[in-house]
Amino acid sequence: MRFSPLDAQHRLLDAKMVPFGGWDMPLAYPSGTLAEHAACRTGAVIFDVSHLGTVRVEGENAFEQLQACLTNDLSRIAPGRAQYTHLLNKDDASVLDDIIVWWVSDQVFDVMPNASNTDRVVAAIGGTDTTSTRAVIAVQGPDARAIVAKFCAEAAAVRRFTVQEVQVCGFSCVVAGTGYTGEDGIEIAVPNEGAAAVWKALHEAGAVPAGLGARDTLRLEAGLPLHGHELGEGITSLQAGLEWVVAWGKPYFFGKTALLKEKERGVARRLVGISIPGRRPARDGTRVLDSVGSEVGFVSSGNFSPTLGHCVAMAFVLPSVNVGDAVSMDVRGTLIDGVVVATPFVAKKK
């Protein structure tokens, strides 16, 4: 089990700790997941996301190295920008991981894998695993920038999907305008020795600590995929509705041949949203049935939406299923009605 550099801070706040991706991380604080979720939608929260990996890829060949491995096209951006991308299995185009690349400076990239995937990402793309040297704090919500600006105006000014090296509380940090909630905000990679100081500064400025429970309900409302649910073994970028991260014009990336074959023949399933009245969720693995009772897919993620006041789910279904179709879900022998809807369930505020 690995522990975050902020582990002591979570315990001082009486967080409920749970294992996640090989890390001991906060699920929720005493206020509870619903309150933390609401705080992110209406104010600002801080998440410890140090369990996410950081792989430093640098040198004169770093750009070409990443271009040859990842689906998206780094030539679309420039140093000081971030990009969402996929690493695919070479044989079947399954998404081995979905990744944010922080292009820190000319020949320096920080590749940010999911918690349990760092080793496989290093094996695929090279680079150095620097996860153990830093904490990552996500500040999310409509008031996130105003709260950060109380003690670091430069960090607060880092725009969406840009990356900048900034001094925060006297420590040299990398700040990116990224997140996983559907709200505005930034993520701060801070050296271990400065993690507690930055966390405390954010908390004292008014940000509410939030755990993995709220992070999951927020990302679900935003229609964002979770590796192991909407992405992973047997799931391709096309099935997940994420073709926009695939730069078909590149001569090569891992899995391109297999993915192109799937594009040409058409996907056998696709990811949709389902709106469910009531408070009883359809959890992952739940069968999805059409209006005549035929099985058409399965739920990949489902939960109660605190913002909407009813349940929502994401599901892989046959391509013949369309937005507006009535469906039902077999929840432990009881059929629960739903309707296929477009995602996100909760639109990002402009």
Q: How do residues 175-223 score in pLDDT, each as one tens digit?
A: 999 999 999 999 999 999 999 999 999 999 999 999 999 999 999 999 9
pLDDT number for residue 189: 98
pLDDT number for residue 105: 96
Instruction: Take residue 9 and report the two structure tokens written for it.
Output: 């801070």
pLDDT number for residue 313: 98
Looking at the domain assignment, is residue 80 inside a domain? no
Distance CA 5, CA 24 (A): 11
Looking at the domain assignment, is residue 239 inside a domain? no
Distance CA 330, CA 334 (A): 6
pLDDT number for residue 349: 65
Distance CA 71, CA 67 (A): 8
Picking from 221, 239, 261, the residue at the C-terminal end of a domain is: 221
Q: How many domains does the chain have?
A: 2
204 and 299 both lie in a single domain: no
Which domain does 136 fall in, by range? 2-53+131-221
Looking at the domain assignment, is residue 119 inside a domain? no
Q: What's the length of the chain? A: 350
Amino acid, res. 189: A
Distance CA 115, CA 239 (A): 23
What SS3 string covers the chain?
A: CEECCCHHHHHHCCCEEEEECCEEEEEECCCCHHHHHHHHHHCCEEEECCCCCCEEEECCCHHHHHHHHECCCHHHCCCCEEEEEEEECCCCCCEEEEEEEEEEECCEEEEECCHHHHHHHHHHHCCEECHHHEEEEEEECCCHHHHHHCCCHHHHCCCECEEEEEEECCEEEEEEECCCCCCCEEEEEEEHHHHHHHHHHHHHCCCEECCHHHHHHHHHHCCCCCECCCEECCECCCCCCCHHHCCCCCCCCCCHHHHHHHHHHCCCCEEEEEEECCCCCCCCCCEEECCCCCEEEEEEEEEEECCCCEEEEEEEECCCCCCCCEEEEEECCEEEEEEEECCCCCCCCC
pLDDT number for residue 348: 72
- Residue 42 maps to which CATH number? 3.30.1360.120
Distance CA 3, CA 324 (A): 45
- Residue 330 maps to which CATH number? 2.40.30.110
Q: How do residues 296-344 score in pLDDT, each as one tens digit?
A: 999 999 999 999 999 999 999 999 999 999 999 999 889 999 999 999 9
Looking at the domain assignment, is residue 258 inside a domain? no
Q: How many CB atoms lie within 10 A of CB 93?
A: 27
Looking at the domain assignment, is residue 243 inside a domain? no
Residue spans of the chain under pLDDT 70: 349-350
8 and 143 both lie in a single domain: yes
Picking from 165, 196, 221, the residue at the C-terminal end of a domain is: 221
Looking at the domain assignment, is residue 261 inside a domain? no
pLDDT number for residue 109: 98
195 and 330 both lie in a single domain: no
